Amino acid sequence: MPVPKKRVGHSEQAHRRANWKATVPTMSVCPNCGAATLAHTMCGVCGFYKDRVVKERALATAGHDHHDHDHDHEGHDHD
Ligand SMILES: [Zn+2]
């Protein structure tokens, strides 16, 4: 297991950390709605990625509106 031989002084540490750079996220523009999105990522506004809509209404309505069957579960008269 590697262990540092000496304590690194503040100056040396600061010099090493001077090479750290914040990476600017690669942005691209959504071809569908024109919003700035992260590259290689589905558009957060319209859910568009690679010439098709991957996920519709990605941010708009995040509710579960999966009510597409109209059975009434009440009127079971077995008498
Ligand atoms: Zn979009």
42 contacts 54 by C-beta, under 8 angstroms: yes
Domain range summary for the chain, segments of one domain joined by +:
26-55
Q: Ligand 1 centre from 22 Cα, in Å?
A: 26
What pLDDT, on a 0 to 100 scale, did the predictor assign at position 14? 92
Q: Ligand 1 centre from 37 Cα, in Å?
A: 8
* CA separation for the pair 55, 47 (Å, rounded): 5
39 contacts 27 by C-beta, under 8 angstroms: yes
The answer to whether residue 5 scores a pLDDT higher than 80 is yes
* CA separation for the pair 69, 72 (Å, rounded): 9
pLDDT, averaged across the chain = 80
Q: Ligand 1 centre from 26 Cα, in Å?
A: 16
* CA separation for the pair 12, 18 (Å, rounded): 10
pLDDT band at residue 61 using 50, 70 and 90 as cut-offs: low
What pLDDT, on a 0 to 100 scale, did the predictor assign at position 10? 94
The answer to whether residue 49 scores a pLDDT higher than 70 is yes
Greater confidence (52 vs 35) lies with 35
Select from 59, 62, 61, 23 the least CA-distant residue to 43: 59
Q: Ligand 1 centre from 50 Cα, in Å?
A: 11
